[in-house]
Structure 1
Amino acid sequence: MNETRRNILKGLAAAPALAMSPNPLWAQAAGELKISHQFPGGTATEGDFRDRLCRRFSAEIAKRSNGALKGTVYPGSSLMKTNAQFSAVRKGALDMTLVPLSYAGGEVPETNIGLMPGIVTSYEQAVSWKKAEIGKALSNILADKGVLVVSWIWQAGGVASRVKPIVEPEDAKGLKVRGGSREMDMVLKAAGSTVLTLPSNEIYAAMQTGALDAAMTSSTSLISFRLEEVGKALTTGRGKTYWFMFEPLLISRAVFERMPKAQQDLIMTVGAEMEAFALEGAKADDQAVAAVYQKAGGKAYDMTDATVKKWQAIARDTAWKDFAGKNESCARILKLAEATL
């Protein structure tokens, strides 16, 4: 771990006390943090929980800094295009983003571990990553690339289809499917699908026009993007699923390191506090999504342990091998992730 990263982490132990006490350092860096994401906008109490999390985070840092540090949320990619956000945060051109980490796979191959099919199969396992060796290694890689994790957020994945339900791997044969990551696409191709690559906020239009038959995305996105209007068959992520998405709240390291330590500590303290809210929101949407699709006239299907193992077996032979073969760093990341299974 480099010295700068070590110093960042060392100060976090004292964060709660610093964040709640008056500190003259607030006056040194009064300002606004721009927080961009691709999801529909709402309020602090209504709408997509990822947008609500960003708004709660913003309100809390403003409150605890007596207004010296504020956050402004830009939903729906209104500030910046979805696929540009991670790169902009790396360069310090954007302060913060909440984004599926796998969207950064083209720039930082290791980040594809955040949507690696079969590697995470429960929320309990997902939550354990933060303090496990895999979490430390991933944090260090991101820090070296100019990005720091503020909140660890995980969501279970499901499938919306306008043709037929995709539950077993054989159900995907012959369909045009959006997987959401290079690794998920490899699994789908092995199952006989044609894959399309596009961010989740473009799924609706693609399914509406028939360019896409089915899409894999989080329960929250299945609801927020109203996919029940274009896909009546739903495979839920409740109970059992073969993939989870790591969708963290991130901050630019360049922006972070320009801030006084009291503000750095405040950001990390509030970010950690948001994780319980995120977990609750993700689990609630896993349950709610089935009712949404059924109300729209669709059908909801759940997976069994046996089904999850089928998908996982395909992933081991395709995506896992490909990922580990990229470089030594990816191989190490995969090994550390497997240790949490």
Structure 2
Amino acid sequence: MTGMTRRTALSTLGKLGTVGALAGSPFLMSSAWAQATTLKISHQFPGGTLTEGDFRDRLTRMFAAEVEKRSKGALKFAIYPGSSLMKTNAQFSAMRKGALDLSLVPLSYAGGEVPEVNIGLMPGLVTSYEQGYSWKNAEVGKELARILYDKGIVVVSWIWQAGGVASRTKPVVEPEDAKGMKIRGGSREMDLILKAAGAAVVSLPSNEIYAAMQTGAMDAALTSSTSLISFRLEEVSKALTTGRGNAYWFMFEPLMMSRAVFDKLPKDQQATILAVGADMETFALKAAQEDDAQVAAVYQKSGAKVVDLNAATVKRWQAIARTTAWKDYGEKNENCAKLLKLAEKTL
């Protein structure tokens, strides 16, 4: 096939958009297949390398390298950190439509689109990593995965992160400390307990916290230990409440894949993706716990006052959550009520 003929064939294929146009050309078939096997992974976190930087970025790179290795190069990946491919809040919807292949994103960000997913950041419902990671094989995890699958999403890696509060002023420890402050909770349900405690809530993704705190548009923010470090919030904070030891803020932040894209892959490639995704969970747990400890040192070094939560304080926040966030969520629909009931079994 000459260069001119090849260009003409490509042009014709683009206009027709039919499988039939591929059938007559081995060249076109191989080219199209090669393009289809390069999958895009998007996330909002700072970019790094396999060994350095935000562990969530590292995890996507480790996942990509291992899947490529096990698939013998049949699957390749392009990684787009820092919301460089698309806006943070557009990722979940794009995966549902098949416009984005994979993303590592806080599940609760999609709560406006799929109310059920807000269980992924429900204050006081998960209070330890052991409990959070038990969801995967428990009834609540299986039901959540089923709901997501029905909505066009495949959970590849189950990732949980504890979080704390960075503040421009005083430490936010007890519920009464939040009164009169402008605080970012991270989900509708977190916002409900903050409002009950007397705070004004601010809603934005974690990669926008720094600017909001720097300008004074926000006084404090709850986010994961890793984000507290990666987004350099110690530069705009005078106090930190850590998530180490005890926490009422646990976020489900999975690596997910578009079902539309996943279903088009051969069974062996699907199996490889899920197997590698499961293998990444051990790394994610260890890295998140390391960041829970490291964040305290980072903030102390910057001169911030660092405090930890005790079990009694967590229970006070949990008591508020039961009558506000949990109640509100459980009344959303039958799926939410069922998920909440199943999640309470893991407490």
Partner Cα separation in structure 2 for residue 28 and residue 79 of structure 1: 22
TM-score by length of 1: 0.91
Correspondence for 1:22: none
Larger Rg: 2
- Paired residue for 2:62, among 38, 45, 56? 56
Correspondence for 2:189: 183
Correspondence for 2:219: 213
SS of 1:130's partner is: helix
8 A contact 1:28–1:260 mirrored in 2: no
- Paired residue for 1:75, among 78, 81, 106? 81
Over aligned residues, Cα RMSD in angstroms?
1.0
Extract structure 1 runs of 4+ deviating beyond 4 A.
Answer: 27-30
Correspondence for 2:253: 247
State the Cα distance separating 1:65 from its structure 2 match.
1.4
Correspondence for 1:199: 205
Are 1:309 and 2:309 matched, yes or no? no
Correspondence for 2:332: 326
The residue identity in structure 1 corresponding to 2:131 is Q
State the Cα distance separating 1:232 from its structure 2 match.
1.9
State the Cα distance separating 1:64 from its structure 2 match.
1.2
Correspondence for 1:4: none
CA deviation vs aligned residue, 1:55-76 (integer Å, no higher than 9, x gap): 0000111111121101111000
Matches within 5 A, 1:107-256: 107-256=113-262
Partner Cα separation in structure 2 for residue 232 and residue 120 of structure 1: 27
Are 1:285 and 2:291 matched, yes or no? yes
Partner Cα separation in structure 2 for residue 153 and residue 250 of structure 1: 10
Are 1:87 and 2:93 matched, yes or no? yes
State the Cα distance separating 1:28 from its structure 2 match.
6.7
8 A contact 1:242–1:311 mirrored in 2: yes
Partner Cα separation in structure 1 for residue 185 and residue 71 of structure 2: 41
CA deviation vs aligned residue, 1:74-114 (integer Å, no higher than 9, x gap): 00000010000000000000000000000010111000000
CA deviation vs aligned residue, 1:175-201 (integer Å, no higher than 9, x gap): 000000000000000000000000000
The residue identity in structure 1 corresponding to 2:247 is T
8 A contact 1:100–1:247 mirrored in 2: yes
SS of 1:66's partner is: coil
Name the % identity. 76
State the Cα distance separating 1:243 from its structure 2 match.
1.8
Unaligned runs of 5+ in 1: 1-26
The residue identity in structure 1 corresponding to 2:45 is F
Partner Cα separation in structure 1 for residue 334 and residue 62 of structure 2: 39
The residue identity in structure 2 corresponding to 1:226 is R
Matches within 5 A, 1:261-272: 261-272=267-278
Partner Cα separation in structure 2 for residue 155 and residue 142 of structure 1: 20
SS of 2:136's partner is: coil
Equivalent residues, number: 315
